[in-house]
Amino acid sequence: MTTTYTDFKQKHVIVTGAANGIGQAIALAFAEQNAVVGAWDIDEENLRRTCIDHDNLYPLVCDLSDPKQVASTHALAVAKHGEVSTLINNAGVDRRMSISEQSSQDWRWMLSVNLDHQAQLSALVAPAMKQHNTGAIINMSSTAWMKLAENLTAYHAAKAGVIGLTRGLASELGPYNIRVNAIAPGRVITERVANLVDEKWIEETKQLQCLKYLISPEDIAQTALWLASQSARSITGQTIIVDAGVT
């Protein structure tokens, strides 16, 4: 069931990692609320497929691990669609790597695709939000680092870092009425995840969760909509765990 919010009509919303999975569901959810949605991703093919049937969903191809591309894409987006009212820092990569096998370049890359661009884009959108004395930023974390999933040390460092980033930004930007929160999803059954897992994983997931169904990307999208809306106007600096109650 989708709630209708009046907050986003004609407002410029950026969603990163919008070509697939959770980001795609979030971008479509904001588009349904009549926002002007900048859908950012490195995956040009799926990005165009995502945007094709939606007049208010604009594909922007960008490698978020490259600060120069992030800056130039932001400048282009603002020139085309105006100042940003809501930023959803969703893009990320959960590449498994043992710390003993990983090079310093691997480490740097994992931090750049999972944490750095969230800080950079937040800094880029903040001045206009400050000027208008309103704005919402949502950063995607994960419960993986809380649950100690294996061989994901760089991912854990980045996703735990997202919580610190969120609290730092909430404190700095709160006086300008800009709210900054994080979402930490549990196991979400995106298309990518569905292609990787088997019946055993599905059963194990249901066992682990209080709620006995699989979390969909749309479940995360509905949380993002609510958190970005005025319904959550007094919530900032928080991490909302959406994991169907993992015990």
Ligand X SMILES: NC(=O)c1ccc[n+]([C@@H]2O[C@H](COP(=O)([O-])OP(=O)(O)OC[C@H]3O[C@@H](n4cnc5c(N)ncnc54)[C@H](O)[C@@H]3O)[C@@H](O)[C@H]2O)c1
Which of 41, 57, 153, 236: binder of ligand X (CB under 6 A)?
Answer: 41
How far apart are alpha carbons 125 and 167 in whole angstroms? Answer: 17
Q: Closer CB to ligand X, residue 193 or residue 208?
A: 193
Q: How many residues bind ligand X (CB under 6 A)?
A: 27
Q: Which range, of 13-21, 72-80, 194-202, 226-234, touches ligand X by CB under 6 A?
A: 13-21
- The three-class DSSP label of residue 244 is coil
- State how far Cα 106 lies from the chain centre: 22
Is 193 an interacting residue with respect to ligand X (CB under 6 A)? yes
Helices of type H across 82-198:
104-111, 117-132, 144-147, 153-173, 191-196
Residue 236's φ and ψ, nearest 5 degrees, are -150, 155
Report which residue type is found at 213: Y
Is 192 an interacting residue with respect to ligand X (CB under 6 A)? yes
Q: Closer CB to ligand X, residue 77 or residue 91?
A: 91
How far apart are alpha carbons 156 and 164 in whole angstroms? Answer: 13
- Is 58 catalytic? The answer is no
Is 161 an interacting residue with respect to ligand X (CB under 6 A)? no
**Count of C-beta atoms within a 10 Å radius of residue 35:** 25
How far apart are alpha carbons 242 and 211 in whole angstroms? Answer: 11
Q: Which range, of 128-136, 145-153, 183-191, 199-207, touches ligand X by CB under 6 A?
A: 183-191
Which of 187, 223, 224, 227: binder of ligand X (CB under 6 A)?
Answer: 187
Structure tokens at 224: 């993002």
Is 21 an interacting residue with respect to ligand X (CB under 6 A)? yes
Q: Which of residues 86-125 bind ligand X (CB under 6 A)?
A: 90-94, 113
Q: Closer CB to ligand X, residue 130 or residue 206?
A: 206
Rounded to the nearest 10 degrees, the angle between the axes of helix 21-32 and helix 44-51 is 30
Which of 129, 188, 224, 241: binder of ligand X (CB under 6 A)?
Answer: 188
Q: Which residues bind ligand X (CB under 6 A)?
A: 17, 19-23, 41-43, 62-65, 90-94, 113, 140, 142, 185, 187-188, 190, 192-193
Which are the catalytic amino acids? 155
